[in-house]
Amino acid sequence: MYTRWMRSTSHMRRLVLMMLVGCGSSDETSFAGTYVIQDWTENLASCDAPGPSILSGQQDRGVMVKNADFLGQKFVNTTTCFDTEECNRFLHDNTLHLPFALDSGSDADGWSGDFVVAFDNTTACSGDVTHAILTGEGDGVTLRIEKTHLASFPRDASDACTTDDAQTVAKTVPCTSVQIITAL
């Protein structure tokens, strides 16, 4: 689900990142670094429980976390990586890696951010809201990725499908799936 294609450095992803980074956070995380994934679970039915491990079927084996700044807005940038070599490259490069720009929180409370897409499907809107939460404990981190799929929601007053409307609707319906990545 969250595979290597999401880490390409295309211009479209950079534009999406500009839309993702809102007010930003004034603090930085001490979680910055690279980690080896210990487990990766997925529940496609709800967000109430972790679900079975899917680690053996995943190509990525690492997690990268770094402090980032985009046009003066600070946030925590995290992504999965193929291995520790790739994670270290990501950690030290000058690139922002999607999908996770965590723009609110702290090390004590966890860092969170949303990746939102909205589509115009002719008669209504559809989309996905992915909410990521990064927490740390001891020498490791946990990345919880909650996804809410919106099969249909109404257009706004100007007849547009917006990410703001997708986020508003997502808050009123249950989360549809969750992935939990634990790494040391």
Chain centroid, CA 129 distance in Å: 10
Chain centroid, CA 76 distance in Å: 11
Rounding to the nearest 10 degrees, give the CA dihedral for residues 34, 178, 111, 184. -30
User: What digits encode the pLDDT tens for the residues 107-163?
Assistant: 999 999 999 999 998 888 999 999 999 999 999 999 999 999 999 999 998 999 999
Among 125, 127, 114, smallest CA distance to 160 is for 125
Rounded distance, CA 147 to CA 13, Å?
19
Res. 20: pLDDT tops 50: no
Q: Which ranges in 27-140 belong to alpha helices (H)?
A: 84-92
Burial 60-92 (b: 16+ CB within 10 A, else e): bbbbbbbebebeebbbbbbbbbeebebbeebbe
Res. 4: pLDDT tops 80: no
Res. 55: pLDDT tops 90: yes
Contact 146, 101 (CB under 8 A): no
For residue 61, what are its two tokens? Answer: 């084996």
Q: Which pLDDT score, from 0 to 100, does residue 14 have?
A: 32
Contacts of 169 (CB under 8 A, 6+ apart): 150, 153
Q: Which pLDDT score, from 0 to 100, does residue 23 have?
A: 42
Q: Which pLDDT score, from 0 to 100, does residue 82 have?
A: 97
| 52 pLDDT tier (thresholds 50, 70, 90) | very high
For residue 34, what are its two tokens? Answer: 């690279």
Domain positions in the chain: 4-183
Q: Which pLDDT score, from 0 to 100, does residue 11 have?
A: 29
| DSSP H or E stretch at residue 178 | strand 177-183
Rounded distance, CA 39 to CA 56, Å?
9
pTM: 0.83
User: What digits encode the pLDDT tens for the residues 78-107?
Assistant: 999 999 999 999 999 988 888 888 999 999
Q: Which pLDDT score, from 0 to 100, does residue 96 have?
A: 86
- According to DSSP, residue 49 is labeled S
Mean pLDDT score of the chain, rounded to an integer?
Answer: 86
